[in-house]
Structure 1
Amino acid sequence: MASEDYQLDILVQGYPGKSVCHGGLGWSTIVLLRGNGRVALIDCGTFSHRNNLINGLKRHGLTPAEVTDVVLTHSHFDHSINWVMFPKATIWIGQEELDWSVREPWGLTPVPELYVRELAGSPQLRRIRHGETVLPGMTAYDAPGHTPGHLIFYLTGNARDVLFTGDAAKNRVELLTRQADMTYDASVTARSIESMWTLWRKRPGTLLVPGHDLPMVLEDDKPVFVGKREAAIESWFEDALERTTRFELVL
């Protein structure tokens, strides 16, 4: 998929689910953008994504040292921890989001305390605000609700535009209902999701990439998935390491 001079590839496919017994699932979307002299990631995941990131970049002939930009929608652990993997990249995050994150109480929230503290003092950091340009053709928009300083990003292109919503709207259900299962204020979230619909409808064929789901386009004003969902768990329930039980997590 291309947007203007950018090639867009999903390095890690987000998953619209929650763990029942073992805490946050944290399977978030990570996008690779290449073009205009940039090798950029939209969000960068958590520890469990590291091999996926390294191998995904390798498939495209890249290494972490060649990533020029990491654009963070928000500071939660499953979207932000791996900024440390990219020593030569500019790390973009909302001014309000980072200020809020470093004030959060340690050990009580999904904010990775030490990682945001280090980011706040890093020379790689670039703070951004609503309406500012991040990459060529990409504009940041406020979308609070999931977190106070959450940003979404709208990328204009020649063939199509792309809207990256992060966790301001994590999946198709949240887009349709204007509700979210993680929000500090339901009315704030509803307004943010409505603003996404306005951007999404602005140009036919615009691709929306959420934080925990497949990309989507609108057909007759209804979200339609692009691509095929892939998710499974393999478990050791038998008596030999080479025998596992596979559970497919798709319909």
Structure 2
Amino acid sequence: MDSAWPTHFSIRTEPLGALEIPGSPYSLAVLKEGYCLPQPDGSTRADGTITLVSGPGNQVLVDTGGPWDRDVLLAQLGQRGLGPGDVGWVVCTHGHSDHVGNLGLFPSATLAVGFDVCQGDRYLCTELAQGRPYPIDPHVLIMPTPGHTGSDVSVRVDGTSLGTVLVAGDLFERCADEPGWRELSENPSLQERSRRAALESTDVIIPGHGPPFRVYRDPRP
């Protein structure tokens, strides 16, 4: 991807080639890589990426996959010595079934689904709908990134070995997803603005239906 941005740099992206990103204080691991596969009969097989953000005393799960992913998710957590009760936050980037299908595994976590953030039946005050991020802690932010739906969010993680990482849900389908993402967008012009902001400010993006990719901002001659 190389776009003519109205800035002093151009943007290009490349597959990262890894599913884990170390860092301090937070590291990330893709527990299941999402996919989106058109079928000969016109249907689509799709599942959302599941990502774990691990830091000191805090585990943040971003998207939970579909309900068919229950055993995979529990097994992936178990391989890291974790159970559902060890996850302090679950952030679902939006409300589609392949992203929220296992919320019921985490009743004790603080839950964020789109612009709603709750602890049990207590809903917290946020300004996500007004375009302002919501901090989980100084290194991890829930970012409003609408367009795919009206209340999509992403999770921004600072301080990894590769810089700033954005777990983006369906803001990006995959690396080099032009023009297909537009067909799935409720508001393509709004999503385009959210995508541009992400590409201008982050170093790695974990998309909703493909492997992580790097973002490079090359100075224009």
Report the CA distance between 1:195 and its aligned residue: 1.5
The 1:219/1:25 distance shift into structure 2, 3 A limit, reads same
Counterpart of 1:192 in structure 2 is: 194
| Aligned counterpart for 2:208 among listed residues 203, 206, 211 | 211
Q: Give how far 1:64 is off.
A: 1.5
Give the counterpart letter for 2:34 in structure 1: G
Classify 1:158/1:50 alpha carbon distance in 2 versus 1 (closer, same or farther; 3 Å). Answer: closer
**Higher alpha-carbon deviation: 126-135 or 147-156:** 126-135
Q: Does 1:29 align with 2:34?
A: no
1:26 deviation in Å? 2.9
Provide the rounded CA distance (Å) in 2 between the counterparts of 1:124 and 1:31: 25
Tell me how far apart the structure 1 counterparts of residues 86 and 207 of structure 2 sit (CA, whole Å).
25
Change in CA separation of 1:22 and 1:39 when aligned onto 2, cut-off 3 Å:
farther
CA distance change for structure 1 residues 63 and 141 in 2, over 3 Å: closer, same or farther? closer
The alignment partner of 1:148 has SS state of coil
Kindly provide the amino acid, as one letter, of the partner of residue 123 in structure 1: D
Q: Which runs of 5+ in 2 are unaligned?
A: 1-20
Quote the offset at 1:25 in angstroms. Answer: 2.3
1:162 and 2:165 correspond: yes
Amino acid aligned to 1:198: E
For residues 25-104 of structure 1, the aligned pairs below 5 Å read: 25-95=45-115, 98=116
Decide whether the 8 Å contact of 1:179 with 1:189 is kept in 2. no
1:172–1:71 CA distance, 2 compared to 1 (3 A): same
Give the C-alpha shift of residue 15 in structure 1.
1.5
Equivalent-residue separation in structure 1 for 2:57 and 2:28 (angstroms): 14
CA distance in 1, matches of 2:40, 2:122: 37
Query: How many residue pairs were aligned?
Result: 193
Q: Measure, in 1, the Cα distance between the counterparts of 2:206 and 2:175.
A: 10
Compute the displacement of 1:43 (Å): 0.8
Letter in 1 for 2:72: N
Q: Is the 8 A contact 1:92 1:127 kept in 2?
A: no
Cα gap change, 1:120 to 1:37, in 2 (>3 Å): closer
Cα distance between partner residues in 1 of 2:217 and 2:198: 17
Amino acid at match of 2:110: T
| Cα 1:177–1:198 shift into 2, 3 Å | farther
Residues in 2 aligned to 1:121 and 1:179: alpha-carbon distance in whole angstroms = 32
**Whole-Å separation in 2 of the counterparts to 1:35 and 1:21:** 44
Question: Is the partner of 1:50 in helix, strand or coil?
Answer: helix
Picking from 117, 121, 124, the partner of 1:123 is 121
Larger Cα Rg: Structure 1 or Structure 2?
Answer: 1
1:139 deviation in Å?
A: 2.0
- Larger helix proportion, structure 1 or 2? 1
Structure 1 distance, partners of 2:119, 2:60, is 21
Equivalent-residue separation in structure 2 for 1:57 and 1:22 (angstroms):
34
The whole-number CA distance in structure 2 between the counterparts of 1:42 and 1:121 is 16
Matched to 1:81, the amino acid is G
Structure 1 partner of 2:185: 183
User: Does the residue aligned with 1:173 lie in a helix, a strand or coil?
Assistant: coil
Shift of 1:122: 3.8
Identity of aligned residues (%): 26
Which structure dedicates a bigger proportion of its chain to strand? Answer: 2
The TM-score normalised by the length of structure 2 is 0.77
